[in-house]
Amino acid sequence: MPRTDRKSAATTTTEGAFEGIRAELNTELVRLRGEREAVLAGLAEVIRDSQAGSGDDPADSSGKTFEREHEQALLTRVDEAILATEEAIGRIDAGTYGVCESCGEPIALPRLEAFPRAALCVSCKQRQERR
């Protein structure tokens, strides 16, 4: 029976897992870009409505301000997710995906499968959140 090199077997398994994660990230990127377009359309509509109602009473004006700020917050969240997704794809391309950006240790595969945009291992992420 031939002896199996554990390192090459693990690398092949990891690369295969990363390709599946890459496909998931690409799908997520397409979805996020579509979501971004929808949010931009919603924001444009809210801005149009607020300009049309320049003589509104204070309650209407406050409601429109709230809607505009809500749409802008959604846009910021989507833009951050797009950036994180693009960065994760870039790390896969560069061969650095799955390595913690803080401590340099490997990020557990279950974490990457659960949260493919993860750039930090669990320990470093917990430390970051405590700050």
The residue extents of the domains of the chain are: 6-97, 98-131
- pLDDT over 90 (residue 25): yes
How does pLDDT run across 52-70, given as a tens digit for each residue? 655 667 777 777 788 889 9
Compare 6 and 88 and report the one with higher pLDDT: 88
What is the pLDDT at residue 49? 78
Quote the distance between the C-alpha of residue 39 and its chain's center.
16
Q: Rounded to two decimals, what is the model's pTM?
A: 0.77
Helical axes 6-52 vs 58-94, angle rounded to 10°:
160
